Structure 1
Amino acid sequence: MASSIAPGAAPPAGPAPGRSRHRRRLRFALVALAAAALASALALSTRFSAEAQVQAASEWDGANCDVRIPGSWASNSLLPDPFTRIDGTRVTSRDQWECRRSEIKELAEHTVYGDKPRPDSVSGTVTSSRITVNVSDNGRSTSFSASVRLPSGTGPFPAVIVYGGFGADTSTILSSGAAVIDFDPGAVGAEGTGRNDKQGAFYTLYGAGSSTGVLMAQAWGVSRIIDVIEQSGGSILNDSTGVTGCSRYGKGAFVAGAFDQRIELTMPIESGSGGVGAMRSIAQESGAQPLSSAYGEQPWLGDAFGAYTGNPAALPVDTHELVGMIAPRGLFIMDNPHVEWLGARSGAVAALGGAEVYKALGAGANVSYHSNVADGTHCAVRSDWRTPLQQSINAFLKGSGNPPGVITMHPSKSANLSQWRTWTTPTLGTGDPGGTTPPETTSPPTETTSPPPAGSGCTARIEVVSTWNGGWQGNVHITAGAAAISGWRLTWTWASGQSIASSWNATVTASGSAVTAADVGWNGTVAAGQTRSAAWGFVANGPSTLPAVTCTPD
């Protein structure tokens, strides 16, 4: 079924590297030296800072990893473990994660998107109004261009590449001090073509019958723009780049950010099936665009994906691992829960699964997911997203302030990661091949109420998942007493300066400092003596001082 909205409809028409490779390598060297000199201080950090985490010296830093794709792999109806390598061993350090990320990349190219080749040469120009790109590979040449809009003030400026001129609010991007690069993705990978007659600059080089899908072709184009910015000397655009897009362009922005480690901030919006949404979940989410539709409507996905549209459990990867590929760089996912076709619950599943990679790397605050909006208009400019958009640009592209670090799901499209995984999240060591050196020397504080009651009743424990300046994220674990419970209600009183900013999987009310939270049905049942882990979660403002929680069966 072709969609008249979101992934299936063309959005309104929009307006038609200063990142220097030397500067990036210099920054990488400085970060490495700082890490060596201040190891003990870094060990105390609960996350990478938004500026210090930018360490990619090339399009793909794991290019030297020895990745060998097996001929077959086991089927899995749940989300694959991002921390288990192809050989069955588990990742225990950040060094090992670098090559595990390359495994995920190769598997995703092999089964979902198609290959992303590195061309022989790239050249071009950057002016205050335009970027031109010239590419040659294997004796063939092609070119394309993108327009530039500069913010007020004196450059050089960071820039956000906007797919089709249709992504995150460009007025907010410009007012935040970042340039807008209006990228026409169709010039590189055109829609409306058959799989054996693909068109655009990418296919001029690699053939109309290339098995690489349009999303990867367009991501290749984004990387070539960054190549030119890198070469430009940094007089107009500096060394920080983001990417964004909505609907079909949200799919493209997500893929671009996952497959180029030089992109500091990725912001996909309402990307639907074939975008952020976990494919295994899409197949089970009522009303979401089926995978077969996303594959057949346009040649967005690689030709090889046709074998998996009816059986995503056979895939060796899923999109939560692409979220993990972006880690620890900035990621702000925006979703629309009011249009069933967009599959926002599956987007939340992928965001929660990928956020575990961010946590393992000590960068939990660098990923945000936001679907708790009232306006259901597709690709609308929403005031709900303006502040986190500004915070993301400031933190990841300008190196100032803190990222939003918020995961807030609409109650009608919330997700529960525990239903989708059997794997646990490790704490990855800082460069120790054995994984014995954790990124922090102290664990976040946790607090338990009184021990589980001997009779009927329940207790609750709040776990601090991550903290940042001015806020923190908590998970709440519910334990039943000697008798099973079919529902729960929690109450507590905040200390001065604390409040809930957002929450998921609970109905929360607040009156002053008093808070009441109740289950939302599916997460209310807890067997006798058992614990429902991460029964619900929230983001809080203020210090991470834990309140005393009272749990009452409801």
Structure 2
Amino acid sequence: MKYSIILPFLATTILAAPILEERQDATCTIPTTFPSKDNAKLPDPFTFFDGTKVTTQAQWSCRQKEINAALQAQELGTFPPKPSTLTFSGTGPITITATEGGKTISFSVSIKKPSGAGPFPAIIAYAAPSIPVPATVATITFDNNGIAAQDNSGSRGKGKFFDLYGSGHSAGATTAWAWGVDRIMDALEAQDTGIDPKRVGVTGCSRNGKGAFIAAALVNRIALGIPQESGSGGAACWRISDSEHAAGKNIQTPSEIIGENVWFSKNFDTFAKKSTTLATDHHELAGLVSPRGLIVIENEIDWLGPVATTACMKAARMIYKSAGVPDNMGFTGAGNHNHCSFPSNQQADLTAFINRFLLNGSGSTAGIEKGPTADVTKYIDWTPPTLT
């Protein structure tokens, strides 16, 4: 099937979306402007912005592209395509050199491989993995901070991504990091590194967990997303975080995030002050990973939003179910452990997903939905369909 796709570049004007055409023959034109109507409920992932209902798998694929474009326009900033010139050297570490518009940057990633003969599955880890990586899985260590700085609110436009595309580029740091992950995948596909590019996951914790979540959503060659303790900006829905904050919870909110750091586009600033005007929310960010694997690991710390993450990911699991792959996504929340530590009671869930999506195992990932009590029906006014 072919899709005609128009993605936003620097979309700063937010208007009502134009009508999407020719969905029935699997052709879709993605709008460049998106609705900002106030809506306290989580947006319906199965209704196009023009009001047309999604009823088929082909339409869902088109709707995913529409959601992706809206997220880039209002929250993430533009996710650039493969650079015009891209070269690689080494098989571990790998040095990646990208050229665009007369500018060139290089960055390197290290690879720790298992013993024995490959090709091996691998997990790309932002900074360093805080989850236990099995001995049979390689670890690719990615210096995401070098690609886009995230020291504080003054870090915007700094890092190798912005050296290449300009300090005024619309991408937030998390989107720039996802671009780096995309280039790592280019390298793994282009040369024999001993890594199987069809069996690669991505992980990170806390702010890096936000980044890993966004990379899994934007880089469709990632087989398994493993965001850990990403909270607001990751597994939590913005609207629910704001609702919990209004109820007196000590929780990170979008308006706090934009003052703290540069993880998101400047385009997000207006919406962060009133999250109910966003065209999307993060149940739909998770929906972009579908049908690929996604295991969301959370910690029941107030700041991370246990109710916001649990309810949001319950809504995301509805999306996976409608898409016909209910067991390809799981959510596991646990309390009573330090931030970015990994408790033993989450090990079985993580192992199940790594076995299935990276190790070609046959174990079950069905029904992994663990967390505090959170009633998702409070936050939605739509019913997930069964797509044909």
TM-score normalised over the length of structure 2: 0.88
**Secondary structure, in 3 states, of the residue corresponding to 2:43?**
coil
User: What one-letter code is carried by the residue in structure 2 that aligns with 1:90?
Assistant: K
Match of residue 325, structure 2, among 352, 358, 363: 363
Give the equivalent residue in structure 2 for 1:250: 209
Matched, 1:115 2:75: no
Give the C-alpha shift of residue 273 in structure 1. Answer: 1.7
Q: Distance in 2 between matches of 1:126 and 1:88?
A: 50
Give the equivalent residue in structure 2 for 1:174: 134
Give the equivalent residue in structure 1 for 2:175: 216
Q: Distance in 1 between matches of 2:256 and 2:182?
A: 28
- Paired residue total: 359
Give the equivalent residue in structure 2 for 1:276: 235
Q: Distance in 2 between matches of 1:315 and 1:217?
A: 21
User: What one-letter code is carried by the residue in structure 2 that aligns with 1:428?
Assistant: L
Match of residue 394, structure 1, among 355, 361, 365: 355
Q: Distance in 2 between matches of 1:67 and 1:418?
A: 30
Give the C-alpha shift of residue 225 in structure 1. Answer: 0.5
Q: Distance in 2 between matches of 1:98 and 1:305?
A: 25
Give the equivalent residue in structure 2 for 1:192: 151
Q: Distance in 1 between matches of 2:65 and 2:251?
A: 30
Q: Is the 8 A contact 1:126 1:232 kept in 2?
A: no
User: What one-letter code is carried by the residue in structure 1 that aligns with 2:212?
Assistant: A
Q: Distance in 1 between matches of 2:381 and 2:76?
A: 26
Higher fraction of strand: 1
TM-score normalised over the length of structure 1: 0.62
Give the equivalent residue in structure 2 for 1:143: 106
Give the C-alpha shift of residue 91 in structure 1. Answer: 0.8
Q: Is the 8 A contact 1:196 1:210 kept in 2?
A: no
Q: Is the 8 A contact 1:369 1:406 kept in 2?
A: no
Give the C-alpha shift of residue 199 in structure 1. Answer: 1.2
Q: Distance in 2 between matches of 1:370 and 1:320?
A: 15
Q: Is the 8 A contact 2:149 2:156 kept in 1?
A: no
Match of residue 326, structure 1, among 289, 295, 298: 289
Q: Distance in 1 between matches of 2:80 and 2:107?
A: 17
Match of residue 57, structure 2, among 86, 91, 94: 94
Matched, 1:351 2:313: yes
Distance 1:415 1:121, change over 3 A: farther
Distance 1:209 1:246, change over 3 A: same
Give the equivalent residue in structure 2 for 1:206: 165
Give the equivalent residue in structure 2 for 1:124: 88
Higher fraction of helix: 2
Gaps of 5+ in 2: 2-26
User: What one-letter code is carried by the residue in structure 2 that aligns with 1:350?
Assistant: C
Q: Distance in 2 between matches of 1:344 and 1:126?
A: 43
Distance 1:247 1:194, change over 3 A: closer
Give the C-alpha shift of residue 315 in structure 1. Answer: 0.3
**Secondary structure, in 3 states, of the residue corresponding to 2:230?**
coil
CA RMSD of aligned residues (A): 1.9
Q: Is the 8 A contact 2:70 2:279 kept in 1?
A: yes
Deviations 1:488-522 (Å, cap 9, x if unpaired)?
Answer: xxxxxxxxxxxxxxxxxxxxxxxxxxxxxxxxxxx
Q: Is the 8 A contact 1:218 1:252 kept in 2?
A: yes
Q: Distance in 2 between matches of 1:200 and 1:183?
A: 14
Give the equivalent residue in structure 1 for 2:118: 155
Match of residue 423, structure 1, among 374, 382, 388: 382
Give the C-alpha shift of residue 382 in structure 1. Answer: 1.5
Task: Give aligned-pair identity as a percent.
Answer: 36
**Secondary structure, in 3 states, of the residue corresponding to 2:360?**
coil
Give the equivalent residue in structure 1 for 2:304: 342
Which one has the largest radius of gyration?
1
User: What one-letter code is carried by the residue in structure 2 that aligns with 1:255?
Assistant: I
Q: Distance in 1 between matches of 2:217 and 2:68?
A: 8
Matched, 1:261 2:261: no
**Secondary structure, in 3 states, of the residue corresponding to 1:84?**
coil
Q: Is the 8 A contact 1:193 1:199 kept in 2?
A: no
Q: Distance in 2 between matches of 1:427 and 1:75?
A: 28
User: What one-letter code is carried by the residue in structure 2 that aligns with 1:388?
Assistant: D
